[in-house]
Chain A
């Protein structure tokens, strides 16, 4: 159900861009929408992060995933249970660049009354491929927005198309992205457990990204577009001098519209895990809890049962039992 609604939503977007651009609204789909999407992404992202940052972290609550810093002869797990800022940086780097926690994933099975745990690395592998491919593709696109094209972008482009198959060369990241999204989507559709926990908000971005990747590949290999014209539009967008040359095919507008929708959708959705992962208190804090005092900004005094009250209640019993008291 959630998958169906999401698929229909993405098809509607595609249809709108197709019809709109053919009806002469190229400027709307090629300029106004991308600007709007980008603005929402930028403002929304910053707003969300600031909103999170506004809430304090009252307690130091790292999840410790290895041996703590303790006696000098006991080897500490410096990355999984860091006690210093450097260690935390290392832990975060592993988490964000290599999906460390997901790498740990296991799969539980009940076999003749016994629980068996096996490794489960597929999710980690495809998620990692998907995210890295997405990132590299985004950076690669800079060559369409910039004149001259920066060296590192050209270099990345060459590296990505190193397995040259046909002309234009096939990008490795294109394959990885499609493979990654397909895996994530099939997993949601096929695994009863994952389907059970999936909401429309889980399918929608997958269909959207799949559509973006597909239209991008179509444009490059099958429905060729005037690439010079496209670059003209994109450089125009980047330099705030929007232009709209004639003869750009609808496929470009569909691609651009899908990307714009993704950008606008981003800050309001679970995609914000991109920002949130940096702020997660269980991962980004050092486990030096007993070494360094952590201050709670909203700490307030509470009513406690004092020793004096306690002794007043139990003085006779204490004296009878030979327990020392403050006042006879």
Chain B
């Protein structure tokens, strides 16, 4: 698909909307923009409603007979359960401050990708069905009927939102379109309308333990393969433990890092850092996924998948939990986990066994972010580092949406990178930190069949990378999110060839001087480390 898309043509974007109003323009579903529908069996086997066969390009989506009633009842229930939803349906003044903040709008020019319109798609239904003015005045009050065509439009555009919250930052009332999308997707799920790229990982994660469906022995074997690679490149044998009772710390991370390039290098990084400091920790094959695709179906499913982490921590009797580099995993952990599945009173307040630092900010969830943990190690001189080993890397940092706008972890990764790399260049201010751009494929949209919209959505991020690539010769895009690592390589290859994607822990591990290590001529990717630049830093 990507091969047919020519960058110059993709860049011909018209930000001026058509003359006809959006309510008068029925949705036109285009291949390349949407993901394949969820397989009915993947919906059924986690007990979610209305599994059925349908095709986005068909006229008839085989909706259940009383689909309107299901939708309205679902909407009423959620209005009563979420103040956010009710308020966000009521108070938007359509000032348009959010309009050009969405990466999908900037990349596609499709006016229905303006966050305000995305939410209006649902708001118009709300007005017609739930407000007196809308019931009486209809169109004049901005209301419209819920028809089958409207359902298609909702589905199309709610699965063209990565829930990155950039629009929310600029809204004068804090209206969070991600929240509207989350609830909109819940409503569509009541009708059995999800995408398979989300639903299959959900099913796998529920039954097997992780998105990829790695069974316990495979999960262990995969990590052991990575230990083999470490042995090859570093000369040290690491023997991690699995499901070990009595370990001090349980470590969980997205399974994407166990399996896919370049996430595996980040995972090798974790292994090396933990080995270096002698951390008493264990992996779990049961809680072998911390990324939570349930979050892209319903709050209930997110809670069901998230429950494993605390359950496993309790069973193994660990003191606290350490979490790897991931985006929405941390959104779920930071904003929902304690509420969903807490209180975690069987755990202790997290204290770094190496530095003695008490992680005050995690005293209730008992879950610490690896980047906080590493930053603290570096601050306390617990890592032996030779940052010159990363001299061939000119690094910039992509603030992953969720850790930045739902958490506020901005300084820690920069501190870590600056301590392991000599060449670090931030992208322009309007594109990083809280204003960061999405990778373009979060919230379960990282399939291959929707490559066109992925590349379009990835344009604003890529464009900012291009800026530092041209100005400073940046060749490495660091990030702290597994989805980023899965999707940014494609976006970079398309928009900014010559830039690779790496997790922060990978960069740390490459600079790490481990006790008993061999002659480090290769980095974790098996690439030769250029020699002869500046003296050793140690």
Of A134-142, A173-181, A207-215, A306-314, the segment with at least 4 beta carbons within 8 Å of chain B is: A306-314
A304 to B407 Cα, complex, angstroms = 27
Known: A270-B90, A305-B304. 12 other contacts (CB 8 A): A55-B80, A64-B404, A66-B408, A105-B170, A113-B8, A268-B131, A287-B407, A287-B408, A293-B364, A296-B340, A310-B286, A317-B217
Please name all residues of chain B whose beta carbon is closer than 8 Å to the beta carbon of A299 when the two chains form the complex.
339-340
Query: Contact at B411–A74, with CB atoms within 8 Å?
Result: yes
Q: A32 at interface (Cβ–Cβ under 8 A)?
A: no
A74 to B412 Cα, complex, angstroms = 8
Query: Contact at A289–B338, with CB atoms within 8 Å?
Result: yes
Q: B57 at interface (Cβ–Cβ under 8 A)?
A: no
Q: A residues bordering B, Cβ < 8 Å?
A: 5, 48, 51-61, 63-71, 73-75, 77, 80-81, 83, 95, 99, 101-102, 104-108, 110, 113-115, 117, 123, 127, 191-194, 196-202, 268-270, 272-273, 275-277, 279-283, 287-296, 298-299, 302-307, 310-311, 313-314, 317-318, 320-324
Which residues of B (143-178) have their CB < 8 Å from a CB of A? 165, 168-176
A313 to B47 Cα, complex, angstroms = 19
> Given A53-B83, A60-B335, A317-B217, do A291 and B363 touch, yes or no (CB 8 Å)?
yes
Query: Contact at B285–A318, with CB atoms within 8 Å?
Result: yes
Please name all residues of chain A whose beta carbon is closer than 8 Å to the beta carbon of B521 when the two chains form the complex.
none
Query: Contact at B209–A310, with CB atoms within 8 Å?
Result: yes
Query: Contact at A295–B361, with CB atoms within 8 Å?
Result: no
Query: Contact at B216–A314, with CB atoms within 8 Å?
Result: yes
Query: Contact at B91–A314, with CB atoms within 8 Å?
Result: no
Query: Contact at A290–B362, with CB atoms within 8 Å?
Result: yes
Query: Contact at B83–A71, with CB atoms within 8 Å?
Result: no
Chain A CB within 10 A, most for which of B16, B94, B209? B94
Chain B, residues 9-36, CB within 8 Å of chain A (1/0): the string is 0010101110001100000000000000
A253 to B94 Cα, complex, angstroms = 32
Please name all residues of chain A whose beta carbon is closer than 8 Å to the beta carbon of B22 when the two chains form the complex.
196
Q: B499 at interface (Cβ–Cβ under 8 A)?
A: no
Instruction: Determine which of B90, B165, B311, B340 lies in contact with A276 in the assembled complex, contact meaning CB atoms within 8 Å.
Output: B90
In angstroms, how far is the closest chain A Cβ from the Cβ of B138?
11
A269 to B92 Cα, complex, angstroms = 10
Please name all residues of chain B whose beta carbon is closer than 8 Å to the beta carbon of A105 when the two chains form the complex.
97, 170
Q: B430 at interface (Cβ–Cβ under 8 A)?
A: yes
Please name all residues of chain A whose beta carbon is closer than 8 Å to the beta carbon of B226 when the two chains form the complex.
none
Please name all residues of chain A whose beta carbon is closer than 8 Å to the beta carbon of B179 when the two chains form the complex.
61, 282
Query: Contact at B410–A283, with CB atoms within 8 Å?
Result: no
Query: Contact at B87–A279, with CB atoms within 8 Å?
Result: yes
Query: Contact at A323–B408, with CB atoms within 8 Å?
Result: no
Which residues of B (112-139) have their CB < 8 Å from a CB of A? 114, 116-117, 120, 131-133
B interface SS class = helix
Q: B474 at interface (Cβ–Cβ under 8 A)?
A: no
Q: B190 at interface (Cβ–Cβ under 8 A)?
A: no
Instruction: Determine which of A101, A193, A307 lies in contact with B96 in the assembled complex, contact meaning CB atoms within 8 Å.
Output: A193
Chain B CB within 10 A, most for which of A66, A200, A304, A322? A304
Query: Contact at B343–A304, with CB atoms within 8 Å?
Result: no
In angstroms, how far is the closest chain B Cβ from the Cβ of A266?
12
Query: Contact at B83–A68, with CB atoms within 8 Å?
Result: no
A72 to B278 Cα, complex, angstroms = 24
Query: Contact at B217–A193, with CB atoms within 8 Å?
Result: no
Q: B41 at interface (Cβ–Cβ under 8 A)?
A: no
Q: B206 at interface (Cβ–Cβ under 8 A)?
A: yes
Query: Contact at A101–B169, with CB atoms within 8 Å?
Result: yes
Residues of chain B at interface, number, CB under 8 A:
118
Please name all residues of chain B whose beta carbon is closer than 8 Å to the beta carbon of A60 when the two chains form the complex.
335, 339
Which residue from chain A places its CB closest to the CB of B221 in the assembled complex? Answer: A321
Instruction: Determine which of A66, A127, A197 lies in contact with B94 in the assembled complex, contact meaning CB atoms within 8 Å.
Output: A197
Smallest CB-CB A-B distances: 9 pairs: A68-B408, A276-B91, A321-B217, A64-B408, A282-B174, A283-B174, A117-B430, A196-B17, A273-B91
Query: Contact at B174–A74, with CB atoms within 8 Å?
Result: no
A269 to B173 Cα, complex, angstroms = 15
Chain B CB within 10 A, most for which of A70, A75, A99, A287? A70
Please name all residues of chain B whose beta carbon is closer than 8 Å to the beta carbon of A290 when the two chains form the complex.
333-334, 338, 361-365, 367
Instruction: Determine which of A70, A80, A106, A313 lies in contact with B430 in the assembled complex, contact meaning CB atoms within 8 Å.
Output: A106
Please name all residues of chain B whose beta carbon is closer than 8 Å to the beta carbon of A303 when the two chains form the complex.
47, 304
Please name all residues of chain A whose beta carbon is closer than 8 Å to the beta carbon of B142 when the two chains form the complex.
199-201
Q: B379 at interface (Cβ–Cβ under 8 A)?
A: yes
Which residue from chain A places its CB closest to the CB of B168 in the assembled complex? Answer: A63
Instruction: Determine which of A57, A61, A80, A192 lies in contact with B434 in the assembled complex, contact meaning CB atoms within 8 Å.
Output: A80
Of B242-250, B269-277, B382-390, the segment with at least 4 beta carbons within 8 Å of chain A is: B242-250
A59 to B460 Cα, complex, angstroms = 30
Which residue from chain B places its CB closest to the CB of A80 in the assembled complex? Answer: B434
In angstroms, how far is the closest chain A Cβ from the Cβ of B294?
10
> Given A65-B434, A71-B375, A117-B431, do A123 and B97 touch, yes or no (CB 8 Å)?
yes
Q: B52 at interface (Cβ–Cβ under 8 A)?
A: no
In angstroms, how far is the closest chain B Cβ from the Cβ of A48?
8
Query: Contact at B91–A61, with CB atoms within 8 Å?
Result: no
A57 to B176 Cα, complex, angstroms = 14
8 contacts between A and B (CB under 8 A): A71-B375, A71-B376, A101-B171, A268-B132, A276-B87, A280-B175, A290-B362, A323-B243
Instruction: Determine which of A48, A106, A304 lies in contact with B304 in the assembled complex, contact meaning CB atoms within 8 Å.
Output: A304
Q: B406 at interface (Cβ–Cβ under 8 A)?
A: yes
Query: Contact at A70–B372, with CB atoms within 8 Å?
Result: yes
> Given A289-B335, A289-B338, do A307 and B16 touch, yes or no (CB 8 Å)?
no
Please name all residues of chain A whose beta carbon is closer than 8 Å to the beta carbon of B379 when the two chains form the complex.
71, 73
